[in-house]
Structure 1
């Protein structure tokens, strides 16, 4: 009986310890990715921002040679180069920078597209990352 009480107490302490630990950090990137996607959708369905006619570097989101962090870094770099309407894109920039960390990246300006075309592509990319992370977490 004494062993049973010790085992029950140990299980209760373990359960309390597990319950008091914060959520794993892997849920944070998923939340940020969904925030980015939601912000882009709101920007696209609202009034046209005058900066949408700005030409920006094209990021090759479909390039499998580049890591996800590299692509997120490039996307953040593209948005930081938009000088007009900076406050409209500041939340996106902050979220993107927090996802790729302190990574520095190279950005090719060989191909440029309009910002209004860049944003949906970025939204599709972050949505795909979110779905991939969710599918990985459930497996």
Structure 2
């Protein structure tokens, strides 16, 4: 018998409102979009980014807690410069976080393409990050 996912709930009422059923995600043509576990997949006809977590994390309480923390944080963040959290798969043996897909890549890919930022632009980016984190209001 397979291990029960660490976030598994006993009744339908307990299923988080962000829960996405894994059959809604078309993984058949998924494309790896970064190092690690991120893939571009189709969900309800749109491209999304999916971060996957396999069964190997089930026995590692620190990894499960990090997954929970990431979900809690993603649900709170609403900012035009941060990928939008769309939902998660938590009731299956392959747990996933689903976010909007950025066809032009993330900040790291931007820097790889453009090279070092000019000081004014670096300052602007830093200010946006500080505002997002609550350090600068």
TM-score bracket relative to the smaller structure: under 0.3
Structure possessing the higher relative contact order (Cα contacts under 8 Å, 6 or more residues apart): 1
Q: Which one has the largest radius of gyration?
A: 1
Q: Give 1 or 2: higher strand fraction.
A: 2
State the TM-score, normalizing by the size of structure 1.
0.27
TM-score under structure 2 length normalisation = 0.27
